[in-house]
Structure 1
């Protein structure tokens, strides 16, 4: 307990001066790098100018400001993968999650409407999150919110989207990786993938049948390849008519060329296999999202080298698309050799801070601890093209790290300090401000609160 009190004092002092302005060495902690250095207990982590200088054993460099983190655990900052952070505030008042426009589907870019001042971002940081993979939502299906209710699975997602009007586009749009420091330059990388819903939602978009969606997508990809090879003729009006707008055609060129992944929101084993077949035939790079029945096709997913984003709590047969869902999904996929990333309840927005609890649940159901850490750090960083700058504690990478009071997957553990690019982040949120404001009922209230 005394060690943690000393640590809290040291971190408070560290927050007073931006870490990027000097060389700072964290000593005494158990450092879990999620990288080649493995776990160092204790280790020394050196940060300068927003970057990690070194991580290893020994003594801190001369002149460094030393933070004694004895008794703490230091990990890379966590990722909120498949997140809605920055794109949603209060869902009942509207959001920037989806578009239902026949002219703008694939071209919709989630980063253009992100809000760095979202009150949900500071809350996410309290759970050790430093980055987020923000993905648009398919029109007519995907996430449904039930704020204030306790049903975790219901808050997360309604698999297959249920019934509703037919969407006007097959494509939900492009995602982005953001840093959660609330800065105007929060976007780390845009255009990270093109989201497409399969299963019931995808079938509705194509007219009601799963086979129709596959046929429609193949037709689209043929048009995109034709457009890429004949841009000049198409612009002159001397080429055949194509089925998409120019904006959507341009957005899909990197997809058909295998440079940008198709992020397939899919649940059922049969649909997963259909996506893998489509990717193989069209030579597409694919990431599966959802994949509640992924374990049933684990060998084929691993053989195809396709990574999976999944929700570890999904274990109820809420629809015919997820009859085979199980809490062991992550463990079984990882054991088969699949790269796994984990997401949190409610689209990793209002409850994004629970990402670490989701990882802990996956560990409780068989996923190795180190694999769970990778699933919320390095794996999503690599999936979406930012693994060279974040996701693990390695020299040259951004100093995105969290100082924990203990095992980050234990519910009673807290994030004592969060750093993004070497800058100590505030752990104050709108909720803590309201708590502190009304904690002492003897404190005079503003005039508007007084009875007349």
Structure 2
């Protein structure tokens, strides 16, 4: 992944003084650090924008002058593994729908960074539901719809919040592509078109390696970055046959891949595991129609049982308010057999690891970003409320 633009860099450029941030202590009945066993009667200390200490109340004393928050349960800030918020807007008008460009079916060079609206109401909406980091960008529907990025949700410009400006290229296999484009008309045509573009990208790379300087081609640059590992291929595929096609493309061209959606993953668990491919699982409560008609409430638990890495996503929604909430999707998966702590892991540390940002977020440990969610009860119970959200050491929701 390309770490071209970081939050730390922009903090320096904007002259933000970390020492001006408050000192915070969070005391909780239960702390899910995601670094090991939960801590009962624990404390998290925050100094500036980082976590200063995490441990039991018997080990940590709250220093004088710290702003103390008492609550029932604390988790790391939630991470949405795949969404389109910031490109898709809450009002579903042409003016706030930038998640899919329909002028061509293959446009891997479109950057999410150039379209993300940090002030979009949907971004604030998910922040208030505990989502502190989103992997967002161009959505499913095109063979190659564009790129994705990773950004924190409280900031009012993309420059201030971005963690990774170019993370994956979003691809789609299946009948959904035919809904927006005349070509391809069939699955076989779509895959042939993608393979041809990857072959061109291989030739483009070969010219570069041989010392030639081909005319710069943004489309070829993006696909070349997928081939050489600078960008990951995130392939949306729901039906078992489309999932297998995605695995064949990975094997043929040797790129890193994340399987997205995967409504029928439970039919090809052995094949997914053998390929070593992680899954951004479809929202548990996704509407079951089209390619996703065979989606199941138990897919998350089956992935866990099979030892396949996965994370929860809100995905793309075509209706207002244009997004789902990953906390609720995880709760339903837990109700249908997924271990509850595994569910929390798939909301925090697991997506951080899969997205390559676990050195900053996803768990509560000394030196990591101070992103915390404070609950008044079990996070996976619908009656539980979020009391506070802290991002980079600042209370952004009370």
Same fold (TM > 0.5)? yes
The DSSP-based 3-state class of the residue aligned with 1:208 is coil
Separation of aligned partners in 2, 1:350 and 1:80: 16
Q: Structure 1 residues 350, 381: closer, same or farther in 2, change over 3 A?
A: farther
The DSSP-based 3-state class of the residue aligned with 1:43 is strand
Partner of 2:212: 233
Q: Please state if 1:40 is matched with 2:42.
A: no
Query: Which residues of 2 match residues 414-433 of structure 1 at below 5 A?
Result: 414-426=385-397
Partner of 2:240: 269
TM-score by length of 2: 0.86
Kept in 2: contact 1:363–1:369 (CA 8 A): yes
Separation of aligned partners in 2, 1:78 and 1:84: 16
Partner of 2:258: 287
TM-score by length of 1: 0.76
| Among candidates 302, 308, 311, match of residue 332 of structure 1 | 302
Separation of aligned partners in 2, 1:85 and 1:317: 22
Separation of aligned partners in 2, 1:344 and 1:97: 14
CA drift of 1:65 comes to 1.0
Structure having the higher strand fraction is: 2
Q: Please state if 1:173 is matched with 2:146.
A: yes
Query: Which residues of 2 match residues 42-441 of structure 1 at below 5 A?
Result: 42-57=41-56, 58-60=59-61, 62-63=63-64, 65=66, 67-69=68-70, 71-89=71-89, 90-94=91-95, 95-102=97-104, 105-138=107-140, 141=141, 170-184=143-157, 185-202=160-177, 207-231=184-208, 233=212, 235=214, 246-314=217-285, 318-319=289-290, 321-344=291-314, 347=317, 350=321, 352=323, 354-426=325-397
CA drift of 1:381 comes to 1.5
Q: Structure 1 residues 207, 300: closer, same or farther in 2, change over 3 A?
A: same
Q: Which runs of 5+ in 2 are unaligned?
A: 1-17
The alignment of Structure 1 onto Structure 2 pairs a total of residues equal to 370
Per-residue CA deviation, residues 85-105 of structure 1 (Å, 9 max, x unaligned), is 211222123322122344981
Q: Which runs of 5+ in 1 are unaligned?
A: 1-17, 142-166, 237-244, 428-452
Separation of aligned partners in 2, 1:53 and 1:394: 8
Q: Structure 1 residues 189, 74: closer, same or farther in 2, change over 3 A?
A: same
The DSSP-based 3-state class of the residue aligned with 1:425 is strand
Q: Which has the larger radius of gyration?
A: 1
Separation of aligned partners in 2, 1:389 and 1:249: 31
Partner of 1:31: 31
Compute the RMSD of aligned alpha carbons: 2.5
Q: Structure 1 residues 345, 192: closer, same or farther in 2, change over 3 A?
A: closer
| Range with bigger deviation, 79-88 or 371-380 | 79-88
CA drift of 1:283 comes to 0.8
CA drift of 1:393 comes to 0.8
Kept in 1: contact 2:109–2:146 (CA 8 A): yes
The DSSP-based 3-state class of the residue aligned with 1:178 is strand
Separation of aligned partners in 2, 1:101 and 1:49: 46
CA drift of 1:347 comes to 3.8
Kept in 1: contact 2:139–2:316 (CA 8 A): no
Kept in 2: contact 1:131–1:178 (CA 8 A): yes
The DSSP-based 3-state class of the residue aligned with 2:145 is strand
